[in-house]
Structure 1
Amino acid sequence: MLAAAAALGLAGPAPAADCSASPASGIDWSGCNKPRILLSSSTLDGANLSESDLNATDLSGSNLNGARFEKARMIRTSVAGSTAQGADFARIEAYRSNFSGIRANGANFSGAELQRAEFAGANLTGANFEKAELSRVDFSGATLNDTRFALSNLSRARLTGAKLAGQLGFDQAFLYLTRIEGLDLSQAKGLTQEQVDLACGDAKTKLPAGLTAPGGWPCADDQ
């Protein structure tokens, strides 16, 4: 029967995830329960971890290039210092998680729940945060070249000291009390006067042509 099915080009059932297998390139851990495990410096490039439970797991310093994490639960998880170029973190739950120093060029964080997460010093060149929840996220010192924040919630997020080049995208993003002090946003895309008036800049903040600094920045008293 299997030979006949193969001859007809019929697909068989998808193989089940091997949740007991050791970390390896391309491993299938989709839907697996891996909370509170020490997996630092693991090799998981191309792995499938979608819909897995990785809450409070330590993945710091790991190779996560091209790995899939869609809908994974990663609350208080650490991937600090990992390499995750082209990885897919779409719609993950990652409140208070540590992504500091991650190298995630071209990674997808669309629709992710990342409130109070740490991205300080991360390289997020070309990363996509469209429709992500980024309230109080710390992006200080991160590289945000051509990073996209369209329709995201950046309320009270910290972008101070971020390294910018190319066009940062803010189309319809919510920038309530977002910290943009000292940033050169002159090449930012989609930035409106209404967004600027809600954000927290200073005399060193540079805005796109046609936009002006408010009479008094909302966070001026916090300096």
Structure 2
Amino acid sequence: MSWFAASDRLVVAGLSGLALTVAILLVSGAHKSAQAGDCGSVASPGLDWSECSKNNIMLQGSDLHGANLAGAHFDGTDLSNANLTSANLEKATLVRAWVKNAHAEGANFSRIEAYRSDFSNAVANGAAFASAELQRAEFGGAQLTSADFQKAELGRADFDKAVLGGTNFSLANLSRAALSGAMIKGPVAFGGAFMYLTRIEGLDLSVATGLEQQQIDLACGDKATKLPAGLKAPENWPCPPDDKD
């Protein structure tokens, strides 16, 4: 074989390898595009903003009914009065976000990060908050019947005047959470929940499920707290006022 022939073969091989690499990159890029949401689209029902960055913007009153918002970033974003009914926000971030007065019936908030976020007066009946990070979140006045908080982190979360019934707190961390003042409209599940200094003053928990004496011994109730049959108030009730640090 001549030197020129060998050289030509090397050039062709190099071009073939380059073409293959380009093809792989194009296919990979197309696959990633297919996986990513349409981040430039205007808020509308059923849109796909999965993995999109929407931090620190004003989306109050937006209609995102049935939208795919999985993994999206809404840190510091105002979603007040938004329609999030049946929307999928699994693994989204909503740190210090405003979701107050939103309609979020049947929405999926599983595994979200939402420290210090405001869900006050939200209508979130049947919503899923399983394994969500909700430390110091505000749920005052929220409607949470049949909502699922299983394994959620709810340290110091506030449920004052929230409507609870069929709500699931099984295996959740309710350390220092404020449930006092919540409106209990039916059985609430507490099986395996960590209730260190959980405020339950004045609550009627007589039909609550999963409660055990060791949970009650850690929690903070008073003479007005009603417990399920077989459980008794510990001698250290009532607890001193909570430190709001």
Tell me, yes or no, if the aligned pair for 1:199 and 1:218 is still in contact at 8 Å. no
Q: State the Cα distance separating 1:139 from its structure 2 match.
A: 0.4
Partner of 2:241: 222
Q: Does 1:187 align with 2:243?
A: no
Match of 2:232 among 181, 204, 212: 212
Across the two proteins, how many residue pairs are aligned to each other?
211
Q: Which residue of 1 aligns with 2:194?
A: 174
Aligned equivalents of 1:165, 1:95: Cα separation in 2: 27
Deviation per CA, 1:84-109, whole angstroms, max 9, x where unpaired?
00000000000000000000000000
Unaligned runs of 5+ in 1: 1-11
Report the CA distance shift for 1:200/1:43 in structure 2 as closer, same or farther (over 3 A): same
Is residue 155 of structure 1 aligned with residue 168 of structure 2?
no
Partner of 1:146: 166
The structure with the larger Rg is 2
Conserved in 2, the CA contact under 8 Å of 1:181 and 1:201?
yes
1:6 corresponding residue in structure 2: none
SS in structure 2 at match of 1:222: coil
How far did 1:180 drift?
0.2
The CA distance in 2 between the partners of 1:149 and 1:129, in whole Å, is: 5
For 2:216, what is the secondary structure of its paired residue? helix
Structure 2 unaligned spans of 5+: 1-29
Instruction: Say whether residues 1:82 and 2:102 are aligned partners.
Output: yes
TM-fit CA distance, 1:15 = 6.1
| TM-score after normalising by structure 1 | 0.92
2:113–2:134 Cα contact (<8 Å) kept: yes
| CA–CA separation in structure 2 for the residues paired with 1:47 and 1:22 | 12
Pairing 1:32–2:52 present: yes
* One-letter amino acid of the counterpart of residue 84, structure 1: A
Alignment of 1:5-154 (within 5 A): 14=34, 16-154=36-174
Decide whether the 8 Å contact of 2:56 with 2:74 is kept in 1: yes
Please give the alpha-carbon distance, in whole angstroms, between the structure 2 residues aligned to 1:159 and 1:15.
40
Cα deviation code 1:162-215 (max 9, x no counterpart): 111221000000000000000000000000000000000000000000000001
With the length of structure 2 as denominator, give the TM-score of the two structures: 0.84
Q: CA RMSD in A?
A: 1.3
Residues 37-81 of structure 1 show CA distances to partners (whole Å, capped at 9, x for unaligned) of: 000000000001110111000000011000010000110001100
SS in 2 for 1:71: coil
- 3-state SS in 2 of match to 1:196: helix
Alpha-carbon distance in 1 for matches of 2:177, 2:36: 40
Asked if structure 2 preserves the Cα contact closer than 8 Å seen for 1:124 and 1:143, the reply is yes
Deviation readout 1:91-134 (Å, 9 max, x if unpaired): 00000000000000000000000000000000000000000000
Higher helix fraction (1 or 2): 2
Closer, same or farther: CA 187–32 of 1 in aligned 2, 3 Å: same
Q: How big is each residue's C-alpha offset from its partner over 1:135-156, in whole Å with a ceiling of 9 and x where there is no partner?
A: 0000011001110000000000
Alignment identity in percent?
A: 57
Q: What's the offset of the Cα at 1:218?
A: 5.8
Q: Is the 8 A contact 1:42 1:62 kept in 2?
A: yes
